[in-house]
Structures are given as structure tokens and as C-alpha cells.
Amino acid sequence: MDDAEAAFRERLSRQSKTLAQAVAEYRKRFKRDPPRGFDDWWRFVQDNGVLMVDEYNAITEDLEPFWDISPEEFRLRASLAGHLPSIDLVRVRNGEGVAVNIKEGYDNLDGVGARAKGFLLMIEKFQRQLPDMDLPINTMAEGRILVPWEHRRYPNLTTDGVADQLSGRYSPDWRGEGNVWEAFRRTCEPGSPARHLFSSSRASPSTQARLSQLAGQSDEVTFARDVQGNYSYCKHPWAHNSQGHFFSDWRTIPVLFPIFSPAKASGYLDIRVPSHYYHGQTRRYTYGWDAVNLEQHRVDHMETPWEMKSDQVFWRGASTGGGSSPPGFAPQYQRHRLVRMASDTTDNNRTILFADPPGSTTYKFVDVPTGPLNKEIMDVAFVKVVDSSNFPGGIGALLRDHRFDENGVNLGDHWKHKYLIDVDGMGYSGRFFSFLESDSAVLKATVYREFFEEWIQPWLHYIPLSPTYHEIYNVHAFFSGGTESTLRAANSSALQLAPAQRKPVDGDRRLRRIARAGKQWKRTLGRRVDMEAYVYRLCLEYARLWSDDRDSTNFTL
């Protein structure tokens, strides 16, 4: 936590202070001049107090593959992308943007998805500074672009692929003809484990353990330690079974089309843009939103003082998290695993590390029965049944194996708890920004990469969780101390103390510091105008790729 704070402060302090510095930093990082309009963008970020003015490596990373495509081909693919299923176009003409659904013949917002409408709002302030161009917007939460390794290595192979995507042979969903995992593993290098059929699925725990032994490392440990969404499924193919996005029903696209999506997992080539949930304002996704007066308040009317918040780890959501192609894998999806882990009432032990006495630097290991431990610290449940027909055993098995809260919750009910878990659904989580803006600390587990990854700091603004969630018990013990069952298992002298004295003061102080830092980040770097600054710069870079003479659209002082 101390290192995270120091790293973030250093990153903020080194941001360019002048246009000349920003241009020099751009050239240093990307080995080319900035795009035309960079000076207008600089005025925009200065006028709006944008703090991160140099950290846009994600834009360069997302657009880099398109530099190998000619401007003519790039424009063709961007325009043709509008004919693909669940792709809208935002067209900029004469300084004005409009969203269209050319497949259905809509040239107005009636037949256009919410993400294209949201993108229009993001460019509203600077659209007059943009040249004519088409920007394909993904209407789905899932990533779309998975290009086979061979096609990226040898781009000429994609010529026929473009036609295939637009032919009658292409269907928008898998319909039993394949799945995302089979498409994903083709993006891996030919020699990688994922490309070998024998290891492209996890046959059994013993097989996985044997493979790990042969590799000289534990895949489970590697999986647990990765918290940045960069886990290599190419190297560790067994792990794909536990992430629902590999089983999406929606067909991915094996050709390099420039598709704008709110997030992407490892291996995808979508172009990241801010989520319309983050930029927009709705009752479900916006902290402090007044749905009656249609305005946002700095403090949500349901916010709870820190001292009155529960020490339990809280999560509510629908039983979604992946598709059903192929069916039968839903119990292993990220949300289902979380709910089952938190609802375990057995006497199986979990090893807890905690300070004893509280607040000291003396730590003890102790095995604690899972049932009592979960009852003390976990408040996790589904609130809505989704896609139960594809769950093995049907709705009966889904209800039997997972906790459901029939009362449901509003967004404001989350603020009663110090710990809020944010976990992926069918795609990225749209609630992350609202959680950050609250006075609670966010524990986030994700396999997705979003536009803000260079702007935010794990262990300062939020607590990162591995995809297994297993460390959550010891995270809780560090910040909130040993629970009643933990202290009893250790026969701790802290049992003689009053409940309030069993909590490590420094732990609770650090937890509150993370909550406050997350809130400050949302109010200073996660504002709507910060998202607009990101999109503005992305549009300038995109416009240069669109131009016939890309070098002529550079910016120089």
C-alpha cells in the first residue's frame, strides 16, 4: 500500500506541464509525432483540469495493429463493420456526429444501441474539431475481435476473411458451431499449450497438477497472483474453464475490424473506450443520482458513516457471468464460484493469518472452519435468476447450490458496508465507478482491461483480488482483525477484549484510507470530462489512420 501510494504520486508529478513538454513526451514514448489537433486537445485538457495528460499508452496499443493496414483498407473495414451483427456506426460529417444502424436502415437514434448513443455524448464537446470518419461501436458488453495468430503474422490471409464476415455464411451467434475458447486459442502462438488439443481443456485436477509439476510451477499460484487482467490463458489453458467470457453465445470476429468496445480481455483486439455506464447517469450505475430531479449529488442520500458500516464483505448480482456455448460450464463462472465460496457452510478449514494481539506485528496461522467464518464476514448472494435452463440440473440445482436474496437491493444498499466486491458479469462490471465514489472500499476481481488502467493504482484506490478470490479471507483479517471463530480456533487472549478492541486500529485506518482514495480518484481522474479527454485523443489518433497521407496529419510545433 505504501509502495502503491508512492508510485501513484510519482506518476502524477511527472505529467507534462506545457504543450511542448507533452509533444516531447509523446515523441519519446511512441517514436512519432502527435496527431493533428493535438494542440486543440491540449487546450481541452488544460481548460478542464485533466490530471493525466501523458498516460495514453492504451490508445497506442489498441491502434498499433491498424498501422499495418493501408488507409484505403482501414476506411473500408471501418465502414463495412457497420454491416456486422450488433455493430452501430457513429459517423462524423462536417463536424457533427450521428449514430446509425445501417443493417436495419436506421439513420436516427431509434434503432441504435445505448453504447453508440453514449459515445455520441462523449464527443459532443469537440466533434466540430474532428474530420469526417466512421467509428464502429460494439453494442455488446463482450469483446468481439479475436484474430488468429497466423492472420496477424501474415495480414494478407485476411482478405477472404473480410468477405466471409459479411456473407450469408456468417451467423451472429455460435449455435453449436464453436465457442469463444476455440476462437481464442487460435490467437496464441503455434507452440503454446493452448494450441495443443490435449491441453486446451482441463481434463481433471490430477492432469492439471501433473502439467504444473512438469512445468516446474503451480498454475494455481500463478492464476491467484495475477490481479491485472493479464493472465496468460495461452500458457495455462486449463484456467479458461473458470471465466465465463470464454463461453459467450455471441460469435467473435476473426478479422481485424476497428471495433470500439468498453473493455477487452487478454487476446482481444478491440479498441477500448469508456463505458456508457461510467459516462452516463442512471439509478443503477451512478452514485448519488437523484432520479426524481435528474441530478447528481456529491453524497448519496443512502450513504452511511464509516463507523456505522458493516465489517462484512458485500456483493449482490444476477446469476449471469457467461453464455452457454458449449453448455454445462456455468457452475465454474466467476460469479457462481464467488457465491458458492461465500455461502459454504461446511466444516472444511481455511488457513487464516492474523495479528495477535490485535494491532501488533506478531502474526499467527490458524485453521478456521469455513461455515462460521463465512457467516461472520461474508454477505454474498444472487438476487436474480438468469439463464437457469443452461445450468446443469436446471433451476433446482442453481437454487440449491447458491444463496439467493429474495429481497433484492438498490445501489444505495451497498453503502452500508465497508467492503464491496466488484466482479465481472457477462463482460466488465459497470458498477465499478459508482463503488469507487462511495465511502466504502472496493475489492475488484476482473480479467478485463479498460481505458483507465494507467490512471488508477491497485492497493491505493482499490484492493485487487485474484480470479480465485481465495485471499479475501486474509485481506479481511488484515484490515478488520480475527473474527470470533478465528480467535477461538487460536485460543487467543484477545477473546478477553471487548469486540471493538479486537479490531486493529491501523488496519481499519488503512481500509478507510483506500475508500477515501478511491473516492478522490473518481472525483479527480474518473470524471465525465476525463473520459471525454480520453475519447478526444483517441479520435485524433483514429483520424490519422483514416487519412490518405498519414504523415501529413502529424502535429508539430
CATH assignment at residue 330: 3.40.50
Is 124 inside a domain boundary? Answer: no
Amino acid at 91: R
Collect all residues with Cβ–Cβ distance below 8 Å to 409 and sequence separation of at least 6.
316, 383
pLDDT along the chain (557 residues), means of 10: 97 98 98 97 98 98 96 94 93 96 76 95 98 97 94 74 63 84 94 75 41 40 52 87 91 94 95 97 94 93 97 96 90 96 94 92 94 97 91 93 91 97 94 98 95 97 94 96 95 90 92 98 98 98 97 94
What does the pLDDT read at residue 188?
95
Q: CB 342: neighbour CB atoms within 10 A? A: 23
Is 45 inside a domain boundary? Answer: no
In this structure, the answer to whether residues 247 and 319 fall within a common structural domain is no
CA distance 355 to 385: 40
Phi then psi for 117, rounded to 5 degrees?
A: -60, -40
Is 70 inside a domain boundary? Answer: no
Among the three residues 256, 284, 312, which one is the final residue of a domain in this structure?
A: 256
Residue 233 grid coordinates: 490463458
C-alpha distances out from residue 281 to 132, 290, 519, Å: 29, 9, 17
Length of the chain measured in residues = 557
In this structure, the answer to whether residues 323 and 400 fall within a common structural domain is yes
Domain that residue 302 falls in: 294-528
pTM (predicted TM-score): 0.93
In this structure, the answer to whether residues 497 and 445 fall within a common structural domain is yes
Beta bridge partners of 379: 314
Is 26 inside a domain boundary? Answer: no
In this structure, the answer to whether residues 231 and 346 fall within a common structural domain is no
Is 235 inside a domain boundary? Answer: yes
Is 418 inside a domain boundary? Answer: yes
What does the pLDDT read at residue 175?
79
Count of domains in the chain? Answer: 2
What does the pLDDT read at residue 229?
54
Q: For the stretch 257-291, what's the b/e string if a residue is b when 16 or more beta carbons lie within 10 angstroms of its beta carbon? A: bbbbbbbbbbbbbbbbbbbbbbbbbeeebbbbbee
